[in-house]
Structures are given as C-alpha cells and as structure tokens.
Amino acid sequence: MKILITGGCGFVGANIALFLNSKGYKIESLDNLSRKGSNYNLNLLKQNKIKNYKIDISNYKKLSKLPKYDLVIDCCAEAAVEVSRKNIDKVINTNLIGTLNVLKKVKQDSSKILFLSSSRIYPINESNKLIKSNLIKKKIIQKKMFGEKDNIQGAKTIYGLTKLTSEMLIEEFAYAFKIKYLINRCGVISGPLQFGKQDQGFVSLWVWNHLNKKNMKYIGFGGNGFQLRDVLHINDLCELILKQIKKFNKINNKLFTVGGSWKSNTSLKELTKICEKITNNKIVFKKVKKTSIYDIPYYISDNRIVSNVYKWKPKNNIFNVVNDMYLWLKKNKSKLKKYF
C-alpha cells in the first residue's frame, strides 16, 4: 500500500510516517517545512528513505501532480488556536482549503482518506459550563467526557471551525463521490519529535523548560494551573491508525473520538509535579489570572466507541508520556535548543 502523509514532517505526521514505514508500507510525505522542527524531522524521514515533497497544501496545482496513492493521511494543520485569531487567512488556507485540495486529489485517484481532526470542534462554553456548575475547582469532582454525540453548536475558535468544516466536507465528498474515509477527532497528543510552545504541544514545552530550568507561567483561570486535559501518547495513536488501515475496507465512513481519556490526563499543576520528579529540577511559576477567550478549563475524550470497534485502548499513562519526552529531549538536548 502506498500512503501519502500531509504534514509529514510535523510531530504527528513524522511519527506516523516512521511507524508505518517500519511496518512495510510505502510512505511519502508532503510538508512545506515552514515550522520550527520540521527540518529536524525531515532528516529522520530521509534517513529512513521517506521522500518529502516540499509543497504548500493550499497549492492544488502542485498537489494534483503528485503520484497516485492508495491512502492519504491528512495531518497537515495550523494547530495553534491563538494563531487562528491573528492570522485567519493562514489557518483557513492550511486547514480548510488544504483539506479541500486533499479531497480533490483523493477523488482524482480513487484513494481513501484518514483525517486527523481536533477536540477543539466542541464549543468553548461546553467546557466553561463545568466551572459555572462547580465541577472544577482544585480537582475534578465529576467525570465528564466529550464524545461523538456531544453538542458541537457554538463558538469554538477559528481553528476548531476549520476542523469541523473539514469533517463535514469529507462527509459530503464521501456521499457525492463514493470516497472511503475515517476521521479521528483527537485530543492532546504528545511524545518525542514534538517542539512545544505555549498554545500547542504544552507537555513538550513543560518538560523542556524543566530540563533547562526555565521559569514558566500558569496562565488563565486564576493562574492556579488547574486546567485539565487528556494526553494521548503518539505511539498509541500510531497503533490505532495501523489497526484502522488494516480494517479500512470493512470499517470506513466513520468518525471516532480518540484521546488519552482517563488512562492518561493531567492538570498543569500535576504535570509540574511529574516533571519535577523525572528531571529532579524545580522551576518558578508566576500566576497570570487573565484567561484568553480561546482557552478552556477542561477536556477528556470519550474513547468508548473507538475502543469497542478496534479493541484498542491507550497503553501509556501521563507519566509514560512525560518520561519518553524527557528521554528524547535529554538525549538530543544540544541539537534541539534552536527549536524551542
């Protein structure tokens, strides 16, 4: 099977490319190499004889001329939610026009598509309600999960809008042109090859700053660090995608919620304690009480449907995620400084 991975030099795309390559699939990548760290991951792909096409996904003319593939795994996205407020054109062109172009390519080649969507398709107010109803204070009082049947109506960030619209566009192409698809609506994903920043890849950023004794800030919701997210180890996602590829002809045209769920989650405060334990370093945190209109206090994925369909569950807890991140960052510390 020949597979194209868009965003193949990004954190998620590179991991999937290397994993599937090791399983004997013929993998190629599309990535414009605009992000920090993409050249580092590109070198890993080259070492494994995985070709990358340096093409912007918004350029359909160039995309359409690529070879024919059996499957396209669409990982390409501008995923920083704050960027989506400041650079609307970039986010729309990458996340939505990019998906449209991939779908036209898939239609042209009679290929399949596996799309990685986002938990940010859920409205901001759905998470904020948990604070108003006192479900979140210093710890979680009630185990709320978000899944396929939860409400999606309401403001969700421009980034989230592009992801939800892409989901809908895929469904329309499937109906109109008989395309086979799968959509994984993912929460936070983390692990080696991730170059974190404030509003994207926060686990990587946390570990890096502890490793290098760089002070940080708890931002928003009073500055206490009680925001909670589930975190899926990239290895667990790769294992799921392998199962999905093998069963694609039998199980398709479905959407799944995919995340760390109750197996792997953390508040920022708890993440700090884990980082301290693993790195043996303590850093100072300042409190920034003001909350961005795009920040949410809480998200946990409801994995029950995907678990039942594929007999899959995350194997790694949050400690494993942080420890694997730490081992990679420590081993490659001198090479990675310029990317953080």
DSSP per-residue codes, 70-115? SEEEE------TTHHHH-HHHHIIIIIIHHHHHHHHHHHHT-EEEE
Q: Which domains does the chain have, with CATH numbers?
A: 2-339 (3.40.50.720)
Predicted pLDDT at 133: 54
C-alpha–C-alpha distance, residues 164 and 119, integer Å: 9
Tell me: pLDDT of 141 over 50.
Answer: no
Tell me: pLDDT of 136 over 80.
Answer: no
Confidence of residue 140 (pLDDT cuts 50, 70, 90): very low
Please report, for residues 22, 52, 128, 233, 304, the alpha-carbon distance to residue 58 in angstroms, rounded to integers and kept in the order given: 29, 16, 34, 29, 35
283, 217 contact by CB (below 8 A): no
Mean pLDDT of the 32-57 span: 96
Tell me: pLDDT of 143 over 90.
Answer: no
Tell me: pLDDT of 301 over 70.
Answer: yes
Predicted pLDDT at 106: 98
Helices 98-109, 158-177: axis angle to 10 degrees equals: 20
pTM: 0.95
Predicted pLDDT at 244: 98
Mean pLDDT of the 259-279 span: 97
Tell me: pLDDT of 262 over 50.
Answer: yes
Please report, for residues 4, 114, 248, the alpha-carbon distance to residue 18 in angstroms, rounded to integers and kept in the order given: 12, 17, 20
Kindly report the average pLDDT of the chain as a whole number: 94
Token look-up 């619209």 returns: 165
Mean pLDDT of the 114-121 span: 97
Mean pLDDT of the 220-224 span: 91
Predicted pLDDT at 152: 96
